[in-house]
Structure 1
Amino acid sequence: MTDTVGRPLLFLDVDGTLIPFGVPPAPRPDVPELHETQDPSDAPINPFLARLDPEHGRRLLALPCDLVWASSWMSDANEEIAPRIGLPELPVVAWPDGCEGEEGEGLHWKTRALVDCAAGRAFVWVDDEITETDRSWVSEHHQGLALLHRVKSSHGLTDADFAIVGDWLARC
Structure 2
Amino acid sequence: MRHTLPGVAVLPLLFLDVDGPLLPFGGDIAHHGPDHANPLLARLDPMHGPWLAALPCELVWATTWMDDANDLLVPLLGLPRLPVVTWQDDREAETADARRGLHWKTRGLAAWAGGRPFAWVDDEIGENDRAWTARHHPQALLHRVDPRRGLTDTDYLALDAWLRARQPC
**Global fold match (TM > 0.5):** yes
AA of the residue aligned to 1:84: L
Q: Distance in 2 between matches of 1:26 and 1:58?
A: 18
Q: Which residue of 2 aligns with 1:50?
A: 42
Q: Distance in 1 between matches of 2:51 and 2:111?
A: 27
Structural RMSD (CA): 1.9
Q: Which residue of 1 aligns with 2:129?
A: 134
Stretches of structure 2 that go unaligned for 5 or more consecutive residues are none
Larger mean Cα displacement after TM superposition, 145-154 or 81-90: 81-90
Q: Which residue of 2 aligns with 1:35?
A: none
Percent sequence identity is 53
Q: Distance in 1 between matches of 2:94 and 2:135?
A: 22
Would you say the 8 A contact 2:53–2:79 is kept in 1?
yes
User: Residue 83 in 1 paired to residue 80 in 2?
Assistant: no
Q: 1:81 to 1:101 in 2, by over 3 A?
A: farther
Count, aligned residues:
158
Q: Which residue of 1 aligns with 2:63?
A: 71
Q: Which residue of 2 aligns with 1:36?
A: none
User: Residue 109 in 1 paired to residue 98 in 2?
Assistant: no
* Segments ≥4 residues shifted beyond 4 Å: 98-102
Q: Which residue of 1 aligns with 2:16?
A: 12
SS at match of 1:147: strand
Q: Which residue of 2 aligns with 1:2?
A: 3
SS at match of 1:58: helix
Q: Which residue of 1 aligns with 2:114?
A: 119
Stretches of structure 1 that go unaligned for 5 or more consecutive residues are 33-44
Quote the offset at 1:97 in angstroms.
1.4
Q: 1:10 to 1:85 in 2, by over 3 A?
A: same
Deviations 1:77-119 (A, max 9, x none): 0001111111110000011014696424110000000000000
Would you say the 8 A contact 2:32–2:43 is kept in 1?
no
Would you say the 8 A contact 2:29–2:149 is kept in 1?
no
TM-score by length of structure 1 reads 0.86
SS at match of 2:15: strand
AA of the residue aligned to 2:153: D
Would you say the 8 A contact 1:17–1:128 is kept in 2?
yes
SS at match of 1:113: helix
Q: Distance in 1 between matches of 2:94 and 2:71?
A: 24
